[in-house]
Amino acid sequence: MITLSHLSCCFGEKQILHDINFHVGEGDFYAILGANGCGKTTLLRCIAGLLTPNSGEVNISPSGGEATERPIASFSARELAQRIAFVRQHAQTDFEFSGFETVLMGRNPYQRRLQNESQADWDIVEQCMRHTNTWHLRFSRPHEMSGGELQRVMIARALAQSTPIILLDEPTSNLDIAHQFDIMELLCDINAREHKTILLVVHDLNLALQYCPQALLLHDKGILAHGATSEVLAPDNIRTAFGVEAEPQQGHLSLRPMTKQL
């Protein structure tokens, strides 16, 4: 589904990622983890085609049941938008579109120039908004929504895009605990019901442990560990990546500062 081969990315002279090799299978649900500045968002943007790596490439499976993966650089913008939906960390609210209009934008990759939306597009939007419990927000403007409501509307737009891959950059940031659970429950349901491949950047290790079956842990410009989340978040890995001590306790992690030696 997604294969990263020898991917490296720099900003000026500063190297962010170096020689990343990684494969994500169809229907996988991965948390991308790591300390601030380790390259989580950079990695996600490279996969989405929003950043061009300095070396290496990202390959994804084309549509139509073809087995051979292709570099994302070989896809047109329209083709790529039919394969990958990207939910940004901060919802774009520069324009006061209604909830329905915002979700309807997810249908743009399937419309020809100057073509109006079809009844089928409208039906898909309604279905996606009902699935994300946002149908009651169809007439609401962004300033009338809470942070959790707006985030669910943006996820509904990604669903309306009808892509097999959804990438999310910190979808639970700046949300209270109840809304964090709400978003993660929704993503789990989408993954289970529609078998979509989901990768999300998340800071909360316990959220990742509770909801994401698999995890990718970045450290020192590369991959420290990947695989089952419970194994990736082993105390030694957490100590290396975050500089804190971790103790597993009945399905969650108890975190504390490392003891300083005098």
Could you tell me the CATH number of the domain that includes residue 217? Answer: 3.40.50.300
Give the chain's domain count. Answer: 1
In a domain, 172, yes or no: no
The CA distance from 93 to 78, in Å, is: 23
Please write the tens of the pLDDT for every residue from 207-219.
999 999 999 999 9
The CA distance from 241 to 33, in Å, is: 9
Whether residue 64 is predicted with pLDDT greater than 60 in this model: the reply is: no
The CA distance from 252 to 262, in Å, is: 30
In a domain, 28, yes or no: yes
Using 50, 70 and 90 to split pLDDT, how confident is the model at 67? low
Q: Taking all residues of the chain, what is their mean pLDDT, rounded to a whole number?
A: 92
In a domain, 185, yes or no: no
In a domain, 70, yes or no: yes
SS3 92: coil
pLDDT of residue 262: 47
The CA distance from 4 to 2, in Å, is: 7
Handedness of CA 30, 61, 162, 143 (dihedral sign): positive
Average pLDDT over residues 117-133: 94
In a domain, 147, yes or no: no
| Lowest model confidence (mean pLDDT) among 96-100, 111-115, 150-154, 174-178 | 111-115
Q: Give the residue numbers spanning the domain of 224.
A: 1-83+208-262
Please write the tens of the pLDDT for every residue from 68-89.
889 999 999 999 999 999 999 8
Check residues 147 and 68 and name the one with the higher pLDDT. 147
pLDDT of residue 116: 79
How do strand 165-169 and strand 84-87 relate by DSSP bridges? parallel
CA distances from 145 to 62, 97, 137, 178, 258 (A): 36, 12, 8, 16, 40
Which letter does DSSP use for residue 61 in this model? Answer: -
**Closest of 13, 14, 17, 1 to residue 56, by C-alpha:** 17
The CA distance from 146 to 129, in Å, is: 16
Using 50, 70 and 90 to split pLDDT, how confident is the model at 250? confident
The CA distance from 202 to 181, in Å, is: 13
